[in-house]
Amino acid sequence: MDLVLVNLIDGLVTGLLLFMLSAGLTLIFSMMGVLNFAHASFYMLGAYFAYQISIFLGFWMGLLIAPLVVGVIGAGVERYGLRRVHQYGHVPELIFTFGLALLIEEVVQFIWGKDQMPYEIPGILEGAAFAIAGNTIPLYKVFMIFLSLLIFGGLLYVLTKTRVGMIIQAALSYPKTVEALGHNVPLVFMGVFGVGTALAGVAGVIAGPVLSTFPGMAVVLGSIVFVTIVIGGLGSLFGALVASLIIGWLTTFAKAYDVRMEDILTGIGFTKPDPIWDSAWQDLWTLTSPQIADILPYLLMVLILIFRPYGLFGKRDA
Amino acid sequence: MTAALEITNLRKSFGQTEIIRGVDLQIMPGERHAVIGPNGAGKSTLFNLITGRFPQTAGVVALHGHDLKGKAPYEINRMGLSRSFQITNIFPKMTVFENVRCSLLWSMGYRYSFWNMVARSRALNEGAEAILEQINLQRRRDIPAGMLSYAEQRALEIGITIAGGADVIMLDEPTAGMSHSETDYIMDLIRDVTEGKTLVMVEHDMGVVFGLADRISVLVYGEIIATGTPTDVRANPRVQEAYLGAALEAEH
Amino acid sequence: MTDTTHNTHSDVLAGSGLTLAKALPWLIASAFLLVMPFVFTSNSAITIMNQMAITIIFALSYNMLLGQGGMLSFGHAVYMGVGGFLCVHIMNWDQFFGTLPLPVLPIFGGLFGMGLALIVGSFSTRRAGTVFAMISLGVGELIAACSVIIVVFFGGEEGISGDRTYGLPFFGIEFLQQIEVYYLTAFWLVLSALGMFLFSRTPVGRMANAVRDNPERAEFLGYSARWVRFYSFVASGFFAGIAGGLFAINYEILTEENLNLATSGSILLVTFLGGVGFFFGPVIGAIVFTLLQTVLSLQTELWALYVGALFVATVMFFPGGLAGVLMMHTPPLVLGKLHLLVKPYIKTLLPAAICILATAGFIEILFHARHAAIGDDQMTLFWMTFSHANPVPWIAFGAVALGGFWLARRNAPELVETWHEANTDTGARP
Amino acid sequence: MRKTTRFGLGAVLATVLSAGAGYADTIKIAFIDPLSGPFASTGTNGLHQYEFAAEELVNKKGGVLDGDTFEVVGFDNKISPKESLIQLQVAIDQGIRYIVQGNSSGVANALTDAIEKHNRRNPDDRVLFLNYSAVDPALTNDKCNFWHFRFDANADIKMDALTDIIAEDDSITKVYVIGQDYSFGKAVSAAASRFLGEKRPDIEIVGNELHPIGKVKDFTPYSRKIVSSGADVIITGNWGADMLNLGKSVIENGFEGPIYTYYAAADGITAAFGEQGKDKLRLVTEGQTNPPPTDTAAAYIEAFKAKYPDGNMSQTRITNVIEMLAKAIDQAGTATDVVAVAEALEGMEHETMWGGTLYMRPEDHQLIQDVLITVHTDEDIQFDLDNSGYGQHLESRVEMAGKDSPTTCKMRRP
């Protein structure tokens, strides 16, 4: 039972981290219709910038400055790249961000090289916060949870209580109408893109030290972020949150508990072939849940799209 | 004789609001029927319900006596009903000729064939040419449809609609947004191409309606308040009231 | 107007039979393929050409989805991959393979690719757009992940290998040499390209374009958009499987990389680079990309950076791809004004090219200075050997880059003006 | 920097696509490994070590035969089997007879297979495959062939040596095995269970699991299981980011015992572990650097670090490849007849500067050598890795490990 609690906390950390990425992406996606393939690349940039800044000014300045820099770069990309491609339609836009992701990875390698960066968590956050039945919860994880919740709260406040937030919310559901009402939609787009990428940058800053900072970090997280927002449903921040948590817990529990295909198959009445290494089905029989934990979200997404193309909480067609 | 199109107690609600509130309508084969009504009366909704674009809440739509409930648009089309759209709805990146040829494919029995070459079928190409001639677009046949003028696109839209050889043709505001001369051109075109077919149209332009239609139905707030020949309808006091009322409301 | 009527006529007539004008591009391409090995005789050149041919088939099959059907797929590699895996399994199935001439093998790859497309397509083609794209991504990831889990079929990360020479000799040819494989591949290239071209001219191929442009309208013409997409998808899976079979014959090994997301992504890149709007676009894309990947990467470690930059620039400035750029010159050609463009092109594009090359040179020096070993400051660039510690090459490359940029920028308005002129029909046609 | 000369595209086509005959006075060695992409740092570092070894150990000493020199030519395979085969063909066309490769057993499998077929089909330009780092046991067992020589100890031999060390320690009663879900990870897991079962049946393997390769973002759940299983020791074959993340995660979650690994050093991993991994990470490897076993070795590393301050002397076996190849060519009296060179390599004994004797076992072309257990520490480190102050220090040595290990190889000689 204690382990369940620990796994819940671990899954929460993963889920909230994912949410920080998917929140920005879902804002961008639902508003502009752009599946920003480079979103995880901005996450990577966040980590690298923060590392570079932390060498000179320490972790906290990195946390403050790096997301701003990433956000400015993101806004620049929207202004000078995406807006130009926008006229050609959604597919070229998507392909543009796809190319951008490749380019960012190459540029990062050009500047920082191909090795892992020794980006460390700050001394003040080292060590354990508390322990549950011998399982320590590192202080840094608690920090991650609080920061994510803080950002989520801030986002919620901005979106529901401010004028800009109202416009964004309206634009999420009715982009054309909002434009017709005379709002400067290109500016809103640029702002949303900037804020969305800055959120990805924050995620990079705080994930860099624990999930390691290396040129492949964007690819590792890349497509899973789409999976999250597609599962959650387009235009729904709440859906993104739920989907992030589902994925966080799903993968954590699949890794933590050895569910074996063998048990499932015998449970539903199959008999194990003997000897197993001669059977054509040997790979199926020896499957365990940790083996497939990180591909479960893809399976979940395909199933959801087949049976519910709008996602869990989406109102709009994907 | 079965009606070409028979609508019985058709209803449609969006959420709480009932937009179509029990429509009954019978259109006989060969009839040219126009549906008119003030803005927001539900004309386009009625159209979309008949052609299977929206599912109805209640009621029956029957084409030649066959219930259309639950049928997908392509199935309805195959049963002999073809429609145009209020907002121009063509294949913009394909040439004018390709647009027309594509609309002939199913009716000529090509289905999902991948063993026939479209270019090698004389009947298909000649059929397409004939329609191009009818809608007077031969000179523009090889340019992408998206580059046509608005009136030409409307003409092409009608061409696509009639090409399939459906015997019930439904046109949704065919002259919307057109100048007088363009309207006359389209009117002649419609009269020409629907010869011998059942025509159902929604139209704002009263000139077009009274010039083309054999019978007219007036739709107000989701209900048909009158159906009859143009003269009958014009004389109907409820119609006058509805149009006058709408006009008065608009003034406020 | 006599002109158009004439056109109409010839088209209808041409439609009823095979004319020289229609067959000519194919004949030229075939002759070209026949002659190539006599021009580039080395085995590595033939290997690279084989790779190109496979990529061309794969890219064309991808364009059946993206360009012609409007379906953006992120998992197309799996159809090529499983087709190839099956072919290697057939190679290892002695009794059967011994009775099978090798040139027939790709058919099986095609059928298997088609089989998988049949299954996946049955649920993924119900919708286009994002739903299709995301299902293709998910299915692609799942199958790629399976490749290391289901060892029986995919052989784990080291893949499975076979030997093509164990097949039934084909008119005495055992396919020991690359050149024999080349002609086999070239034969299949022509056959598949022709097949895909003709497919686009069939009713379902035409309707694929219609559904891409306007699925709703297509529905009101009697066609179910879903089934049109489905048939295109299945046909595309078939040709991807053929490409997989040819891959199996060429490399005699299939691995996880044939299925993964990187391969699926790069074929998107190839196709878009070449141009999705024209049938021959992916052909150009495949040739250019293969050359960049195999030849440029021998020259510089930064090749991926250049390819990435080229790709982003293409999307931003030439969404029609390389084929689109080529075809932009059709109107001037028809108007007989192509010659007008020659001088402005030289005046603008030459400095631009020099600017790009000099910028690349500058980047190379920077890279060398950052990453080279101490004492190893010598580097060779554009036939010149110099030291990166020397400021002269830095300044020279920088100056040339800036100069080229300035010159191109200065002459660009003239090019734009001439371009408009060359595209305007002044009526003065000879 | 790579030694490939740079040309414009036109010149490139001419040279690459038409066979360029090799020079009579240089013996070219094709280095086919990743030089771009995520594994480029390992590849580039390996290339530097090869170039340095060829220069220092052969060319500066007068070369081989009558003064012929070695030249290492880099070919970027982007760690893709397909690209490797294309580059192999390019290398062969350039008249290169010696192929070295090491990163990824998948690539090695593809290469050995292709080279075997090539040599069979083209007896006139056969090539040798000198595998310096791919440790999949199959390469010298079921998939062995005459043209392939392995200079690293294979995964089974290393595990044999490692379990010898573990077996001697009576305080160890529980072992946890975790690895990436692919052939190497599975080989490590199988070998660990087998050897421990033979040597110390009382040791309980409390966990034996595989995780997807390169896809795990967060190792915490695995670490929780490992810690709560009460394991004394972890054995893992992980490499790259999977190694770093697993190691950091288990240490952060309170694992105290040693982590026995194959690939937890250099390429940024040593620096990234730093203090955290001290005395916890142990490597099963070959080639001793701390303390340097001989003065030659110390001087060699110093010279290398002077030339490549950012580089690591992480693959000491590369010098063995170069020295043994040079010796074999001298013995055979030819560099073009690779059959003669291969026969000279078979059964060759060689004193390495890294201490101990090397023996190229003729039955399966597996080099038999001392296998070491080293520990990640900053104490008594003369040659650190990643310039981090931390390095690998010798802890124990198994001499001529796996000398009598069985092999299923049935070598077919030409």
CA D328 to chain centre: 21
Question: Per the CB < 8 Å rule, is D183 touching C304?
Answer: no
Nearest residue to D6 (alpha-carbon basis) of C361, C362, C288: C361
- Which of C41, C375, C380 lies nearest to residue D18, judging by beta carbons? C41
Residue D280 and residue C82: Cα distance in Å, rounded? 43
Contact C27, C246 (CB under 8 A): no
Q: Do C315 and A95 touch (CB under 8 A)?
A: yes
Answer whether D279's CB lies under 8 Å from D175's CB. no
Q: Report how many Cβ contacts below 8 Å link chain C to chain D.
A: 153
Distance of CA D332 to the CA centre of its chain: 26
| D396 CB within 8 Å of a chain C CB | no
3-state secondary structure chain C: CHHHHHHHHHHHHHHCCCCHHHHHHHHHHHHHHHHHHHHCCCHHHHHHHHHHHHHHHHHHHHHHHHHHHCCCCCCCHHHHHHHHHHHHHHHCCHHHHCCCEHHHHHHHHHHHHHHHHHHHHHHHCCCCHHHHHHHHHHHHHHHHHHHHHCHHHHCHHHCEECCHHHCECECCECCCCHHHHHHHHHHHHHHHHHHHHHHCCCHHHHHHHHHHHCHHHHHCCCCCHHHHHHHHHHHHHHHHHHHHHHHHHHHCEECHHHCCHHHHHHHHHHHHHHCCCCCCHHHHHHHHHHHHHHHHHHHCCCHHHHHHHHHHHHHHHCCCHHHHHHHCCHHHHHCCCHHHHHHHHHHHHHHHHHHHHHHHHHHHHHHHHHHCCCCCCEEEECCEEEECCCHHHHHHHHHHHHHHHHHHHHHHHHHHHHHHHHCCCCCCCC
> How far apart (Å, rounded) are the C-alpha atoms in residues D211 and D238?
10
A216, D269: Cβ pair inside 8 Å?
no
Instruction: Verify whether the Cβ–Cβ distance C209 to B98 is below 8 Å.
Output: yes
Q: Which residues of C touch D75 (CB under 8 A)?
A: 298
Query: Is residue D43 located within the same domain as residue D26?
Result: yes
Tokens read off for C131: 């739903």
Distance from CA of A250 to the nearest CA of D (A): 11
Query: Inter-chain contact C152–A282, Cβ cutoff 8 Å?
Result: yes
**C207 in contact with chain B, both atoms CB, cutoff 8 A:** yes
A225 and D CB contact within 8 Å: no
Q: Are strands B215-220 and C160-161 parallel, antiparallel or unpaired?
A: unpaired
| Closest in C74, C149, C261 to A287, CB measured | C149
**CA–CA gap between residue D77 and residue D40 (Å, rounded):** 10
A173 pLDDT more than 80: no
Residue C91: name the closest of C259, C254, C258 by CA: C254
Q: How far is CA A104 from the centre of its chain?
A: 18
Q: For residues C238 and C45, is the Cβ–Cβ distance under 8 A?
A: no
- Mean pLDDT, residues B235-248: 73
**Least confident span in A25-34, C74-83, D145-154, D230-239:** A25-34
In chain A, the residue whose alpha carbon lies closest to the alpha carbon of D207 is: A258
What range defines the domain where residue C416 resides? 330-422
Task: Determine how β-strand D233-236 pairs with β-strand D204-211.
Answer: unpaired
Positive or negative torsion for Cα C344, C350, C352, C355: negative
Query: Percent of chain B, pLDDT > 90?
Result: 19
| Residue D30 CB contacts under 8 Å (≥ 6 apart), including other chains | D73, D75, D87, D88, D91, D94, D96, D98, D99, D100
Q: In this structure, are C33 and C163 located in the same domain?
A: yes
Same domain, D392 and D339: no
What whole-number distance in Å separates Cα of residue D66 and Cα of residue A220? 52
Which CA distances in Å does C121 have to A91, A214, B76, C143, C303? 20, 37, 25, 15, 36
Interface touch C316/A85, C-beta < 8 Å: yes
Give the residue carrying structure tokens 């026995």: D260
Q: Which of B91, B107, B125 sits opposite C12 (nearest CB)?
A: B125
Least CB–CB distance from C156: residue in D2, D182, D309: D182
Q: Is B195 helix (H, G, I), strand (E, B) or coil?
A: coil
Radius of gyration of chain D (CA): 21
> Chains touching chain D at 3 or more Cβ pairs under 8 angstroms?
A, C
Q: How far is CA B44 from CA B10, C326, D29, D366, in A?
A: 14, 45, 76, 80
Residue C8 in domain? no
CATH class of A2-257+290-307: mainly alpha
Instruction: Provide the shortest C-alpha distance from residue D194 to chain A (in Å).
Output: 17
Please answer whether residues C268 and C140 qualify as being in contact, where contact means their C-beta atoms are separated by less than 8 angstroms: no
Q: Copy the structure tokens of residue D149.
A: 């020589």
Interface test with C, best of A115, A224, A283, A303 (most C CBs within 10 A): A283
In a domain, C139, yes or no: yes
- Quote the CA–CA distance of C73 and C92 in Å, as a whole number: 31
Is C178 within 8 Å of D83 when comparing Cβ atoms?
Answer: no
* ipTM computed for the complex: 0.85
**Range from B45-59, C59-73, C135-149, C159-173 that averages highest in pLDDT:** C59-73
Contact B191, B72 (CB under 8 A): no
CA separation for the pair D193, D203 (Å, rounded): 10
Q: What are C221-264's pLDDT values in tens digits?
A: 889 999 999 999 999 999 999 999 999 999 999 988 899 888 99
CATH code, B5-251 = 3.40.50.300
* Interface list for C 157-216 with A (CB within 8 A): none
Nearest-by-CA chain B residue for C70? B93
Q: Is the pLDDT of residue A169 over 80?
A: no
Burial of B30 (0-12, 13-18, 19+ CB in 10 A): middle
In this prediction, residue D264 carries a pLDDT of 85
D200 and D325 both lie in a single domain: no
Q: Which two three-digit tokens encode residue A43?
A: 């996450």
CA–CA dist B159, D235 (Å, integer): 74
Residues D259, D236 contacting (CB under 8 angstroms): yes
pTM for the complete prediction?
0.88
* C119 close contact with A: CB closer than 8 A: no
Distance CA C114, CA C234 (A): 5
Distance CA D278, CA B207 (A): 92
Output DSSP code: residue D236. E
Residue D409 has pLDDT above 60, yes or no: yes
The verdict on D386 and D276 lying in the same domain is yes
H or E stretch covering B88? none
Same domain, D96 and D160: no
Backbone phi, then psi, for B20, in 5-degree steps?
A: -110, 120
Q: What is the CATH number of the domain that holds C59?
A: 1.10.3470
Q: Does D17 touch chain C (CB under 8 A)?
A: yes
Dihedral sign of CA atoms A282, A285, A288, A289 in order: positive
Domain containing D389 equals 156-285+370-398
- Which of C44, C257, C381 has the CB atom closest to D6's CB atom? C381
| Sheet (strand B168-172) strand order | B81-83, B168-172, B198-202, B32-36, B215-220, B223-228
Q: Classify residue C54: in a domain, yes or no.
A: yes
Answer whether residue C306 is part of any domain: no
Those chains having 3 or more beta-carbon pairs within 8 angstroms of chain A are C, D
Kindly determine whether residue A116 and residue D272, on different chains, have CB atoms separated by under 8 Å: yes
The answer to whether residue C430 is domain-embedded is no
pLDDT score of D2: 39
Peptide bond into C169 cis (omega under 30): no
In the three-class reduction of DSSP (H, G, I as helix; E, B as strand; rest coil), residue B82 is classed as: strand
The model's pLDDT over A72-113, given as tens digits with 9 standing for 90+, comes to 999 999 999 988 888 887 788 888 998 899 899 989 988 888
pLDDT in tens, C35-79: 999 988 888 889 889 999 999 999 999 999 999 998 999 999 999
Q: How far is A3 from chain D (nearest CA, A)?
A: 8
A113, A115, A135: residue with CB nearest D227: A135
Q: CA-to-CA distance for C246 and D338, rounded, in angstroms?
A: 31
> What is the rounded distance in angstroms from the CA atom of residue D105 to the CA atom of residue D102?
8
Cβ <8 Å between A95 and C272: yes
Give residues with Cβ within 8 angstroms of A120, minimum separation 6: A209, D274
Q: In this predicted structure, what is the pLDDT of residue A16?
A: 92
Which chain B residues are within 8 Å of C215, Cβ to Cβ? Answer: none
Q: What residue type is assigned to position A293 of the chain?
A: A
How far apart CA C128 and CA C226 sit, in angstroms, is 8
Closest to D312 (Cα-Cα) out of D333, D289, D291, D328: D289
CA pair distance C218, B212, nearest whole angstrom: 28
Q: Say if residue C218 is in the same domain as residue C348.
A: no
Looking at the structure, do residues C227 and C353 belong to the same domain, yes or no? no
Helix/strand/coil for A14: helix
Which chain C positions have a beta carbon within 8 Å of D310's beta carbon? 371
- Which pLDDT tens digit goes with each residue over D126-169? 999 999 999 989 899 999 999 999 999 999 999 999 999 899 98
Determine the Cα–Cα distance for residues C249 and C247; give it in Å rounded to an integer.
5
pLDDT, one tens digit per residue, over D372-403 is 999 999 989 999 998 889 999 999 999 998 88
Structural domain count, chain C: 2
**CATH code at position D313:** 3.40.50.2300
- Tell which C residues from 323 to 352 touch A, by Cβ distance under 8 Å: none
Same domain, D213 and D341: no
Which chain A residues have a beta carbon less than 8 Å from that of C123? Answer: 306
Residue D331 has what pLDDT? Answer: 93
Residues on chain D bordering chain A, Cβ-to-Cβ distance under 8 angstroms = 38-41, 44, 181, 209-212, 214-218, 220-222, 224-225, 227-228, 241, 244-245, 248, 252-254, 267-269, 271-272, 274, 386, 388
- Contact yes or no for C302 and A100 at CB 8 A: no
Residue in D36, D48, D90 nearest the CB of C44: D90
Residue D290 has a pLDDT of 87
pLDDT at residue B250, rounded to an integer: 53
Verify whether the Cβ–Cβ distance B74 to C223 is below 8 Å: yes
Shortest Cα distance from D254 to chain A (angstroms)?
A: 7
Residue extents of the structural domains in chain B: 5-251
Helix (H, G, I), strand (E, B) or coil at D396: strand
In chain A, what is the straight-line distance between the N-terminal and C-terminal CA atoms, in Å? 39
pLDDT at D36 over 70: yes
Half-sphere exposure at residue A251, Cβ-oriented, CA atoms within 13 angstroms: 28
Nearest to A96 among C66, C145, C312 (CB): C312
Query: Is C184 part of a structural domain of the chain?
Result: yes
pLDDT tens sequence across C391-418 = 888 888 889 889 988 988 888 888 888 8
A133/chain C closest Cα distance in angstroms: 35
Answer positive or negative: Cα dihedral of D310, D315, D317, D322.
Answer: negative
D309: which DSSP letter?
A: T
Stretch C166-174: mean pLDDT: 84
Domains held by chain D: number:
2
pLDDT value of position A316: 56
By the CB < 8 Å criterion, does D16 face chain C? Answer: yes
Residue C11 falls within a domain, yes or no?
no
Q: Is residue C51 part of a domain?
A: yes
